[in-house]
Structure 1
Amino acid sequence: MNNATLKERDLAVLWHPCSQMKDYEKYPMTPIKKGDGVYLEDFDGNRYIDAVSSWWVNIFGHANPTIAQAMKDQVDQLEHVIFSGFTHEPAIELAENLVKITPPGLDRVFYGENGSSAVEIALKMSIHYWQLMDKPEKTQFVTLENGYHGETTGALAVSDVGLYKEPYETMMFDVMTVPSPDCYYREEGESWEEYSRRQFVHMRKLIEEKHETVAAVILEPLVQCATGMRMYHPVYLTELRKLCDEYGVHLIADEIAVGFGRTGTLFACEQADITPDFMCLSKGLTAGFLPLSVMMTREEIFEAFYDDYETLKAFLHSHSYTGYATGCAVANATLKIFREQPIIENNQELAKHMAQATAHFADHPNVAEVRQTGMILAAEMVQDKKTRQGYDWKERRGMRVYEYALSRGALLRPLGNVVYFMPPYVITPEEIDKLADIAWKGIQLATKD
């Protein structure tokens, strides 16, 4: 078997996500045979550093032996069982582990299947809770400009990415969107904290005026990933928690992409010292091995649904693989690695090295900004650095970097004109240096007219 044969077979039967399929005529896909640590290997023997953790899920490297063994052991015993009326040890253990390590007060775990489903669970539970509290008028959600929360209908409704959302507007409920605290737009000399505080005025004004009809605010803590790894200061979260408490509004933290060590702490909310009312987790939870998500909430929200059957207060939401035993076993193995190894401390050192290896990017005449939060680093290419005028999206400059990187042994999948690193935590300083060199040369090539 080789790359060419698999490409031909693939294009005859498959429809890939986030793709204009005609693009594969110009940008051929790469069939992958196996993974090993930070590397992916195709059927022709080429190896690529997975700089984006295969859509941000693979935190401990491909084919991690510890996690693989846990998965095999569980499959030999119990692969899955209906989670209504039945339970099993992996799900109980995982819930206990998560309650211990997440922000204090998140004491109840509801299982989903992927990130979008976790968001849907949080949205539905918030709306339902307010009905049980005799506040049925609280039906609206507040979101951030350029936020992204998934692609099922509810998750997409509370997102703000027109390219993904606009064709389906007739299927969705209305939301209220406020300007983002995205620090890319701060004034010269203005700090991240100053700008984030300034942007918070918009949120405060809306909640003060509309809180009686608002069920919850949903946002991605610290990094808006899908819209270009845009970042903001933790003070925004601190102030938002106070505001939600003041006006009786739920706070939903979507930590699907930023949780489990990505931002320099185990969870991004830790950097603001807050506990949300709902926290959505997925991606790194199972380190790229299996789909699984959780939605965590407070005991008081659980108690609102706890009553006699005849009251019909139960939260009737389910998935075929709710509480998936094999997925839970994999997640427990993932958390065990966090417990037994100094992952966060190591990440902090790797993040410093990443910053040093890419520091010179800021001097490039077509790089407007190099920004970083923990193990997420992004460089934004622009046409005019002084005015920050971006390139025409039709020029697809980011894809030029992507093509060059593949030819040099790296998977650097751009977000428009943003080139970013979000690698597995097992990457070495030497591999970071290699990525930085490839990205630098790719940017130079991409910005040539």
Structure 2
Amino acid sequence: MNLKERDKKHIWHPLTQHKLHPETTAIVKAQGCVLTDENGNEYIDAIASWYTSMYGHCNNYITNRVAAQMQILDQVVFSGFTHEPAVKLSEALIDILPDNQNKIFFSDNGSTSVEIGIKMALQYHFNRGEKRHVLIAFEDGFHGDTFGAMSVSGLSVYNGPFEDFFLDVKRIPTPNGKNYDIILERLQDISSQHNVAGFVFEPLVQGAAAMKMHDAEGLERILKFCKSNQIITVADEVMTGFGKTGKHFASDHIETKPDIICLSKALTAGLLPMAITSCTQDIYDAFYSDEISKGLFHGHTYSANPLACTAALAGIELLISDEIQHHIKRIIESHKLFGKHIKTHPKVASVRQTGIIFALDLNIEMERYGNLRDKLFNFFMKNGICLRPLGNTIYILAPYVITDEQLQKVYQVIEDALEIV
């Protein structure tokens, strides 16, 4: 029995309605940008396996470092203990994060990094004797699958059955260059009528909302409003972090920096699960007290796992290298050329790009996860490309090490796909 058949016996896959999608693809090997299935078929991983393996799969620089760390220290509880990989990673992160970030809190995945950011924002005010319980978030945002993260998310396809149990969240539209006054009026109304604790947002790009992009100037105005009203700002950079927007972090594109930043995915270069929630000294100081109850009582068994920390440190070293920075610039320019070419296609409604994130919308109306999405996905896989359309949006978010030849093949297969829709 092959892997696909064995898989069906016991495994429940994420984000999957198994009655409608009973088939899976069994991957047995990954190297660079190429995935290989159990039948020997190869696929260019044009989404870096959900935006994680940005330096390529099984990158020797990373795997060798982690293999060496395995022989020294594999795991130790992080409450009351510390170790060199965590300390070195904290130093390396502070060096590349926005200048106002000063403290690092470890956890296990993107959802929990946001959960911790929300708890920091709420407890910050609580510890200071203020009752603030309302959060602000963008429409159509997605921040994860735990309850706090779901509360600030705006995509009901993920959250529908749980909405009666959510935190109190008020939503605002994303800035588009024309709606600044409307957003600021909405913010003023919310803050005057409610005790607002924090604003949770995906900076510049909303991933699950089909790579919906908004402008830095509008976000800057929102953050300035929040800062002037003592509203804690929580930037969810789980998807956008580590070079994808053309800078190390999307927050580097704006002058007013968030109080809290949530990181995961490419943090460990796709090798091991880990997340980080960073914050300013001011946030940390609100928890620093003789009263034990004012501490942040959140912890995970594998927080700051030494192997994950080692992978993350190696990934940062690659990120800041001249080679990877060259690749980022190369991909950005390549996407620009493809965008100019494809935007005139009669079946393309629009194209957009932020850094290495490229998306195009088909001028075809459909349900977000309807048959067109499946038809496109199957076409891409049949032609050796791993792309996961979001409704009628096709997007590329490939590893930085993708070659020009591989990138051209991705473009060509996308263009070919337009002929079948």
1:95-134 mapped onto 2 (5 Å cutoff):
95-134=90-129
What residue number does 1:422 align with?
397
For residues 340 and 391 of structure 1, what CA distance do their matches in structure 2 show?
Answer: 42
For residues 406 and 202 of structure 1, what CA distance do their matches in structure 2 show?
Answer: 46
Matched, 1:56 2:51: yes
Instruction: Kindly indicate whether the alpha-carbon contact (under 8 Å) linking 1:115 and 1:282 is maintained by their aligned counterparts in 2.
Output: yes
Q: 1:196 to 1:428 in 2, by over 3 A?
A: farther
Deviations 1:182-218 (A, max 9, x none): x4xxxxxxxxxx33635533553345424x6000001
Gaps of 5+ in 1: 184-193, 384-389
1:90-239 mapped onto 2 (5 Å cutoff):
90-136=85-131, 138-181=132-175, 183=176, 194-195=177-178, 197=180, 200-210=183-193, 213-239=195-221
Instruction: Kindly indicate whether the alpha-carbon contact (under 8 Å) linking 2:141 and 2:153 is maintained by their aligned counterparts in 1.
Output: yes
Q: What is the identity, as a one-letter code, of the residue corresponding to 2:11?
A: L
Q: Percent identity?
A: 35
Q: Which one of 280, 283, 288 corresponds to residue 265 of structure 2?
A: 283
What residue number does 1:9 align with?
6
TM-score (norm 2): 0.96
Shift of 1:396: 2.2
For residues 185 and 138 of structure 2, what CA distance do their matches in structure 1 show?
Answer: 10
Instruction: Kindly indicate whether the alpha-carbon contact (under 8 Å) linking 2:366 and 2:391 is maintained by their aligned counterparts in 1.
Output: no
Q: Which one of 341, 344, 350 corresponds to residue 331 of structure 2?
A: 350
Q: Which moved more, 1:396-405 or 1:64-73?
A: 396-405
Q: 1:395 to 1:82 in 2, by over 3 A?
A: closer
For residues 75 and 338 of structure 1, what CA distance do their matches in structure 2 show?
Answer: 23
For residues 256 and 171 of structure 1, what CA distance do their matches in structure 2 show?
Answer: 24
Task: Kindly report structure 1 stretches of 4+ aligned residues shifted beyond 6 Å.
Answer: none
For residues 263 and 198 of structure 1, what CA distance do their matches in structure 2 show?
Answer: 26
For residues 427 and 72 of structure 1, what CA distance do their matches in structure 2 show?
Answer: 25
Deviations 1:108-136 (A, max 9, x none): 00001000011011111111110111112
For residues 374 and 185 of structure 2, what CA distance do their matches in structure 1 show?
Answer: 35
For residues 315 and 16 of structure 1, what CA distance do their matches in structure 2 show?
Answer: 33
* SS at structure 1 position matched to 2:116: helix
What residue number does 1:186 align with?
none
Number of matched pairs: 421
For residues 390 and 116 of structure 2, what CA distance do their matches in structure 1 show?
Answer: 28
Q: What is the identity, as a one-letter code, of the residue corresponding to 2:266?
A: G
Shift of 1:344: 3.0
Instruction: Kindly indicate whether the alpha-carbon contact (under 8 Å) linking 1:278 and 1:296 is maintained by their aligned counterparts in 2.
Output: yes
For residues 433 and 11 of structure 1, what CA distance do their matches in structure 2 show?
Answer: 35
Q: Which moved more, 1:340-349 or 1:257-266?
A: 340-349
Deviations 1:315-359 (A, max 9, x none): 111011111111111100101112333423431221111221243
Q: Which one of 262, 267, 276 corresponds to residue 249 of structure 2?
A: 267
Instruction: Kindly indicate whether the alpha-carbon contact (under 8 Å) linking 2:370 and 2:391 is maintained by their aligned counterparts in 1.
Output: no
For residues 63 and 7 of structure 1, what CA distance do their matches in structure 2 show?
Answer: 23
What residue number does 2:19 align with?
22
* SS at structure 2 position matched to 1:265: coil
For residues 118 and 89 of structure 2, what CA distance do their matches in structure 1 show?
Answer: 23
Shift of 1:169: 1.6
Gaps of 5+ in 2: none
For residues 185 and 378 of structure 2, what CA distance do their matches in structure 1 show?
Answer: 40
For residues 133 and 52 of structure 1, what CA distance do their matches in structure 2 show?
Answer: 43
Deviations 1:15-57 (A, max 9, x none): 10011112334xx311001001000001111100001110111
Deviations 1:389-426 (A, max 9, x none): x2345742122111111111100111111111000000
What residue number does 1:46 align with?
41
For residues 144 and 265 of structure 2, what CA distance do their matches in structure 1 show?
Answer: 12
